[in-house]
Every structure is written in structure tokens, then in C-alpha cells.
Amino acid sequence: MKDFYQIIGYEFKDTSYLTEALTHSSYANEMHKKLRCNERLEFLGDAVLSIIVSNYIFLNCPQLPEGELSKLRASLVCEKSLAVYAKKIGLGERIMFSKGEKRMGGGERPSILADAFEALIAAIFLDGGIEEARKFVLGFVVPDIQNPKNHRAKDYKTTLQEIIQKNPEEHLEYVLVSETGPDHNKHFVFEVHLNSNVIGKGGGKSKKEAEQQAAREALELMGY
């Protein structure tokens, strides 16, 4: 694990936290041992991530009103962003899956990567405290905020609506395709339809996030 410690910039004192963070529910179920999967840590990590990001952008983006702060935070902690962060540290290769889940490419699925990344945040928080967790999180978040090419804070739904409104006969509709997971860890998938044609699809931990990601894909396909 020494190489992984170097990658994440933190060395665990109690490695059981890291083991739990890297244990997918499929592996825990397959092993039939008293193994804890990372779902509880993911729950805690979500809260730790939110407070760290909220505190940082509140202090460092004084020009932004509340609504813009909310949009910026949502763009930084959404499933898509967390999955990108997870890939940067090769997290998918470290997660322990059942044989079936591994064959199905679980280590590449954005929802699994995002959950594991949040679980890792919680593991660092429990093992090293809030400052170590803050250092880890901001190592990913700050470059994103400072990157002038980062447009992920954009309200994709509004942008898409403004484009479509130029043609009054066109009709946009967001359709819920699937809703999976327990109440504390839901995953929603939405399609955005233009006159009954699917022009985008996206997923997220809330309906709003999934709709935004569907709109983002639609805009990309339209060349925006």
C-alpha cells in the first residue's frame, strides 16, 4: 500500500479504515465474512466533502452570491467530478469486488468510483482528522476551481432551455429512466427528450444532478 499512500498523500495509522473504504458490497456479500462494505463510510464522506468544499468556496469566492455558490459546489461534488478524481488516483483498481462485479467492469462505473472516493474521504477523516481530509479534498477541488477552462459550474438545463426556446415549436422533457439504491444512497438516471427524441442521458445522486448531467450531454452533442 506504500505506493497508494504516496499517490493520495496520506498514510493510514489504522488500515482497517482503508480496507473498509475499498470494500464494495458485492465483495463483502461474496466473502460471507464479517466484512463491512464502504456504504456507511460513503455516507459520512459525502457530509465531510460537502462541508470542506462549502467552507473553501465561501471563503475564497466572496464575489459569488448564494445561488452561484450552490451551483459551484454541486459541480465539484457531483458524481461525474468525483469519478474523475477517483480515476486520477487509480481508485477503481484498488476496490475489492465480487468476481461477477469485477467482470462487469465495476471499477469503471462512475457511481461506484464516486462512492468509493467519498468513502476514502471518510476513512482519512476518521484516521487523521478533518485537516488531513481537507488537504486531500482540496488537492482535487482547488485546481478545478482555478482552471479557467472549467465550465462545470454552468447551469446546463437553463442553457439548453435558452437554446431550444429559439424554436417555439420544439419541446424539451426530462424523463426518469431508473432509480436505484437504498434511501440514503439513491442513484437516478434521466433522459432529456427533444420532441420525443433522446438527445442526452445522465446520472446522479439526486434528480436535479441527473437532469443537469443529461442536459450537459445534450449540449456536448449539439456542439456547445
Whether 214 contacts 191, CB under 8 Å: yes
Distance CA 224, CA 211 (A): 17
Task: Determine whether 127 is an active site residue.
Answer: no
Three-class DSSP labels, 50-71: HHHHHHHHHHHCCCCCHHHHHH
Phi, psi values for residue 216, rounded to 5°? -60, -45
Most confident of 14-18, 57-61, 163-167: 14-18
Give 108-155 pLDDT, tens digit per residue: 999 999 999 999 999 999 999 999 999 999 999 999 887 745 544 467
Q: Is the pTM of this model over 0.75?
A: no
Three-state DSSP at 199 gives strand
Find the catalytic residue in 20, 79, 101, 118.
118
pLDDT (0 to 100) of residue 82: 95
Q: Alpha helix (H) ranges present in 61-109?
A: 66-77, 79-88, 99-103
Give 146-179 pLDDT, tens digit per residue: 774 554 446 788 889 888 888 888 899 999 999 9
The radius of gyration of the chain's CA atoms, rounded to the nearest angstrom, is 19
Find the catalytic residue in 39, 46, 79, 217.
46
Task: Determine whether 93 is an active site residue.
Answer: no
pLDDT (0 to 100) of residue 150: 54
DSSP state, 205? Answer: S
How many residues in total does the chain contain? 224
Phi, psi values for residue 199, rounded to 5°? -115, 0
